[in-house]
Chains A and B, each alone.
Chain A
Amino acid sequence: MKKIRPVFRWLVLFATLLLVTVYYLPIWSIQLWAPQYPEGLEMLIWINNLSGNVDVINDLNHYIGMGKINVDMFPEFGYMVYILGFVIFFGITTFFVNKRFMLYLYSSLLIIAAVAALIDFYQWEYIYGHTLDPRAAIIIEGQSYQPPLLGYKVLLNFTALSMPSYGGWILFGSGFTLVFASILELFKARKERKKEHHG
């Protein structure tokens, strides 16, 4: 099996080491604006925690019968640190092993992890937005309050914006870098194979 181009090999190491910062940065941000909250409310999701105006959001949400958001409702916070640890370990291994197939595996792993995370997040949002107390003060027929997965959504008097935060952008950036490197390596591998056939 062929080696990775040196420039990509170092890129793998760089992208992998960058992932360490995700332990220390918020990954996702949900922001809310209403006439009474022109300054906005924000909830930040970290690898193992929540921060921001979670209490204020909970106090407001009880009118429409939404549950209280708290750290305990995310079992993911228990194991996400290990998944990220494994990803980083895999990346470093890829750097040392220095084989193309490792790069392909590594970028696939990242894509699978990212897609799984988004599906998981969507599912939580669905349950959170649809599990409403039937005794809530304000009940609107057919209305649910699922936050947007990505982008803007209007929920009653609130406009919600869901998007990656610093950690999320780093994850995406690293992922794209690796996928980009993998694709170029694939092209190179194909060219080399053609050369062998002709030669």
Chain B
Amino acid sequence: MKNYINYVAATLAIATLTQCKPKSASQVVTGDAAAKVYVAPGKFDEIYNFVSGGFSGQLAVYGLPSARLLKVIPVFSQNPENGWGYSEETKPMLNTSHGFIPWDDLHHVALSQTEGIDDGRWVFVNGNNTPRVARIDLKTFRTAEIIELPNSSGNHSSPFLTENSEYVIAGTRFSTPLDGNNDVPISSYKENFKGTISFIKIDPTSGNMSVAFQVVMPPFNFDLSRAGKGPSHGWFFFSCYNTEQANTLLEVNASQRDKDFVIAMNWKKIEEYAKANKGKVTTSKYAHNVYSDETHSATSTISEGIVQFDASELKDMIYLIPCPKSPHGCDTDPTGEYIVAGGKLAATIPVFSFSKMLKAIEGKEFDGEFAGLPVIKYESALYGEVPKPGLGPLHTEFDDKGNAYTSMFVSSEVVKWNIKDLKVIDRKPTFYSLGHLMVVGGGTKHPYGKYLVAYNKITKDRYLPTGPELAQSAQLFDITGEKMEMLYDYPTIGEPHYAQAIEASKIKDKQIRFFKIEDNKHQFATKGEKEAKVVRTGNRVDVYATCIRSHFAPDNIEGIQMGDEVYVHVTNLEQDWDVPHGFAIKGAANAELLVMPGETCTYKWNPDRVGVTVFYCTDFCSALHQEMSGYIRVSPKGSSVPLKWGLGDFSSDAPVTPEKK
């Protein structure tokens, strides 16, 4: 009987609890949200949104507010869809000092700036795993350059730009032994391991990157960064964790100290110091890959040697500011006066004041040194703390009205607060566990505001289930009012870490529609069908091919032999927008080529069997696309079948070239 009563009581208790379930997402969305994200067919979005593809290694481009996926720009990973990293021209882009690497983990996105405003010229992204920084040209939406960073592991604190795109910064997440002293016991972490922060100079006209110098830091883990702006232009701020300098079970061992640091670096002074001092030149090797729109080809150069300065020699240039537990974000507000740090294990958001920090440095209000660097007293640099903002503050961006928006990973919400009085204004849940968030222009001196997007790690019950592996997601908020309003919720490619967004008007009219065939400087370009030919040099065969709606020239080839290495150089002769042609050969261990008008791309093929094989255009180019195809005859090695090729009139008098020696 007692058991029975207990059972009833328990059932009632559960029933009551069910009534108290927290609000579900459907209750969060308000009436006119649909109208605010609706962009009618044929109309353009207001905003370009560049979203990291995380472990896909690529960069996604969405239109806002519709959240329509416009393009996936291949950066660090091979992309069979358009031959990126498969064509002979693009393979060098994925070269590193370790050789060809087909993948990376792309975390952060930084639009180029002029005077603290996004200028729409380039977007920079980081490769986290094999440390690299890439530059994407926003005239072509293609990766134009990738530079590798030696002495770096887990290139997480990257890429962050100064307000005139003078430098892009790359700080290492892991500290490791440096080149030249690599083979050491892991337990010698504190003596032998170092962190590095690389300063990559950006050429103001071409955008080309070069590693100017590297600052060798104590073995902390560097997380995120922001450059100062306005009055704080000339400074960089970094967050770091593991100041415990643990090398195992970081989960526990790197969470022991009550405070880690925000690091303030006077890069203008370091730049001057670097001009006057030679520094130590290391033996580090690193790859520098550049793609040319003239030759339609990339080159990879392995450079050697990098200039290093030890942090300890940079007196009066680097300061530590204590910051509650393992900070992640480290964000400067639009005025450049406030630096907001998100201690991911902390219960408050500290806001530091740049002017107070300068005074503290002047008055030497230090709390001793740590790892040889002066520590500014917490209170001396602190403007104030946002009380009880939520759990796990990670990253903060700003709107055009003096408000800040902080992502709360643990409590899964966006919190809006006022920078001046530090009071929380609004909070809205996200689904679930957001990492970064972004406001349009939120990292600039003059944010555009209007929209905020939260990037979530967990989606569970948000969409139709797709087995064990689920999409990550983004949630779009309207931030024009006092209260934030969730508008839309959509899955993304890969794992979206950070993203940035810019007014479409700054980019859309600068697009290159096609490449002029007369400007094509590819060494295997074929600028007319009459120039199409096949050339044998030993066992290397070069096919100079053209394509135009709706045929290849040549489309019949004989005289290929087993053991040949065949390079098909396909030039697209079209001179109109949106007429790419594709190319693929049956049985080739390769991806397709997707050749833009006026461009030349090369397909490498090692025939693996005797017989007639086929090739075709893989992009539905025209009404006669299905006819756009051809045959290649492969004969045994040493066969007497002559090398010949043709188009339209193959059987009778197709040209025959004498075999070249």
Write the residues of chain A forming the contact surface with B, with a CB cutoff of 8 angstroms. Answer: 53, 55-56, 59, 63, 137-138
Contacts and interface: CB of A to CB of B under 8 A. Distances in A.
Given A55-B575, A59-B574, A59-B576, A137 B624 contact: yes
Interface string B78-99: 0000000000000000000000
A138 B623 CA distance: 10
A55 B577 CA distance: 12
Contacts of B575: 55-56
B420 to A, nearest CB: 49
B624 A56 contact: no
Contact of B576 (A56, A63, A138): A56
B483 to A, nearest CB: 41
Nearest to A39: B577
Contacts of B623: 63, 137-138
Nearest to A137: B624
A59 B549 CA distance: 8
Contacts of B548: 59
Contacts of A56: 575-576
Nearest to B648: A135
Contacts of B576: 53, 55-56, 59
A120 B548 CA distance: 33
A63 B624 contact: yes
Contacts of A137: 550, 623-624, 627
Interface string B623-637: 110010000000000
Nearest to B622: A63
Interface centre among A55, A56, A59 (most CB of B within 10 A): A59
Nearest to B574: A59
7 contacts: A55-B575, A56-B576, A59-B548, A63-B549, A63-B623, A63-B624, A137-B627
A150 to B, nearest CB: 28
Interface in B572-621: 574-576
The interface residues of chain A, by DSSP majority, are classed as: helix
A140 to B, nearest CB: 13
Interface centre among A53, A137, A138 (most CB of B within 10 A): A137
Q: Size range of the interface on B?
A: 10 to 19
B598 to A, nearest CB: 12
Interface of B: 548-550, 574-576, 622-624, 627
Contacts of A63: 549, 622-624
A18 B624 CA distance: 49
A79 B644 CA distance: 46
Give 10 nearest A-B pairs by CB, closest first: A56-B576, A55-B575, A137-B624, A59-B549, A63-B623, A59-B548, A63-B624, A59-B574, A56-B575, A59-B576
A53 B576 CA distance: 9
A55 B627 CA distance: 22
Contacts of B550: 137
Nearest to B549: A59
B657 to A, nearest CB: 28
B43 to A, nearest CB: 13
Nearest to B623: A63
A91 B297 CA distance: 59
A138 B550 CA distance: 13
Nearest to B579: A59
A47 B624 CA distance: 37
Contacts of A59: 548-549, 574, 576
Contacts of B574: 59
A137 B622 CA distance: 12
Nearest to A157: B623
Contacts of A53: 576
A59 B548 CA distance: 8
Contacts of B549: 59, 63
A56 B622 CA distance: 13
A53 B550 CA distance: 19
Given A59-B548, A59-B549, 10 more contacts: A55-B575, A56-B575, A56-B576, A59-B574, A63-B549, A63-B624, A137-B550, A137-B624, A137-B627, A138-B623
B571 to A, nearest CB: 15
A12 B253 CA distance: 97
Contacts of A55: 575-576
A197 B627 CA distance: 83
A53 B514 CA distance: 14
A65 to B, nearest CB: 13
A56 B574 CA distance: 8
Contacts of B627: 137
A174 to B, nearest CB: 37
A80 to B, nearest CB: 28
A72 to B, nearest CB: 17
A12 B14 CA distance: 101
Nearest to A62: B549
A138 B624 CA distance: 10
A6 B329 CA distance: 84
A173 B576 CA distance: 36
Interface centre among B548, B550, B576 (most CB of A within 10 A): B576
B548 to A, nearest CB: 7
B622 to A, nearest CB: 8
A125 to B, nearest CB: 24
A63 B622 CA distance: 10
A56 B576 CA distance: 7
A171 B549 CA distance: 39
A53 B624 CA distance: 22
Contacts of A138: 623
A192 to B, nearest CB: 63
Nearest to A138: B623
A59 B575 CA distance: 9
Nearest to A59: B549
Nearest to B578: A36
A64 to B, nearest CB: 11
Interface centre among A53, A63, A138 (most CB of B within 10 A): A63
A61 to B, nearest CB: 11
A130 B435 CA distance: 66
A137 B623 CA distance: 10
A55 to B, nearest CB: 6
B381 to A, nearest CB: 57
A159 to B, nearest CB: 18
Nearest to A36: B578
Contacts of B624: 63, 137
A137 B551 CA distance: 12
Contacts of B622: 63
Nearest to A60: B549
Nearest to B548: A59
A56 B548 CA distance: 11
A157 to B, nearest CB: 10
B42 to A, nearest CB: 9
A156 B495 CA distance: 47
A53 B577 CA distance: 12
A184 to B, nearest CB: 51
B8 to A, nearest CB: 70
A53 B513 CA distance: 14
A137 B575 CA distance: 21
B517 to A, nearest CB: 10
A59 B623 CA distance: 13
A181 B575 CA distance: 49
Nearest to B627: A137
A85 to B, nearest CB: 33
A110 to B, nearest CB: 39
B27 to A, nearest CB: 43
A63 B550 CA distance: 9
Nearest to A135: B648
B131 to A, nearest CB: 44
A34 to B, nearest CB: 12
A56 B579 CA distance: 11
A137 B576 CA distance: 21
